[in-house]
Amino acid sequence: MGSDYVTRNLVASTAATAVYTALSADSSGGTPGSVKVPQGRNRITKIIATASAESTVVVDIGNIYVVKLSGKGLPTGDQELIIGSLLSQEDGTSVGITVDSRGSAVIPVSISCSAGNEITISGSYSGTDSGAQNYTVTLEFSTGQGPTANYYTRLDSMGQATATYNAIETTADGATSTISTEKSAKRITRLINAIVLNAAGAVTGANFVVKLSGTGMTEQEISVGSIQYEAGGGTTTDTFVQLYEPNILPVNISITGGNNLNLAAAYVGTDPGTPFIGVTVEVF
């Protein structure tokens, strides 16, 4: 049996950072609003998503895009996932140009859903306001058996010194909150992350590590990515604006459900310019 695909858009959103806005438009000018789970379907198996800046992008900033699924169509509650990021840097004194074309991020998921009920798709971005934003999200609905997962996302600026852990504890709507896992949770199976610079870059490289800790689990440290920044200087400007898909990292970490899960991040190397990190944790 095949799957069903439903898409919603949000165009030229002027919402501030850390504010969720619903994706209510279809791709032919209508505004159907929330998504009704198709009959016979009991899980979402993929999120296919992209985001972009609608207006001239502010330079020397970074954004991380997050999608939230909510509503009566989700028996296990809200789900939040990183879908991508944007990095803007400029070097020099005159005007340059950049063009970037990317395919959508394809994120396999296993989210329980209830046929005939509604799901609202919302988008938010964190970092520095870069102008108006566009979001497009497709949900793949399927029929299956077996356990489903919950998805928790936290983001934070990394203004600390090198080789120093900083808590990642801010939600995509700006609150500070520890992750509290369901009592039935047994395992962390994937980390979905993005790393950007949220200030003018420095000519250097840095590698990033995420630490997971909490009651009922052994502390774990995992390499999640790096940033390399180079700038030639001089009088010719290089304007660099790049969209990125999230990094999807399979893991296998045993936990005891019903406890808090703490995230922290550190980097080694030289400060490349106020890094900003986001991490989604997939918990079965």
Q: Please give the full DSSP string across 69-131, using - where no structure is assigned.
A: EESTT-TT--EEEEEEEEEEEEESSS--------PPEEEEEEEE--TT-EEEEEEEEEES--S
What DSSP element (H or E) covers 152? strand 150-157
Q: What is the pTM of this model?
A: 0.93
pLDDT band at 53 (very low <50, low <70, confident <90, very high): confident
Strand partners, 197: 275
pLDDT at 55 over 80: no
pLDDT of residue 26: 97
Q: What is the pLDDT of residues 188-232, one digit of tens each?
A: 999 999 999 887 666 678 999 999 999 999 999 999 999 887 665
Q: Which residues pair with 242 in a beta bridge?
A: 87
Quick one: which H or E segment has residue 57?
none
H or E segment to which residue 35 belongs? strand 35-36
Tell me which residue of 121, 114, 169, 145 sits closest to 279, measured CA to CA.
169
Burial (CB count <10 Å: 0-12, 13-18, 19+), residue 84: buried
Contact call for residues 175 and 20 (beta carbons, < 8 A): no
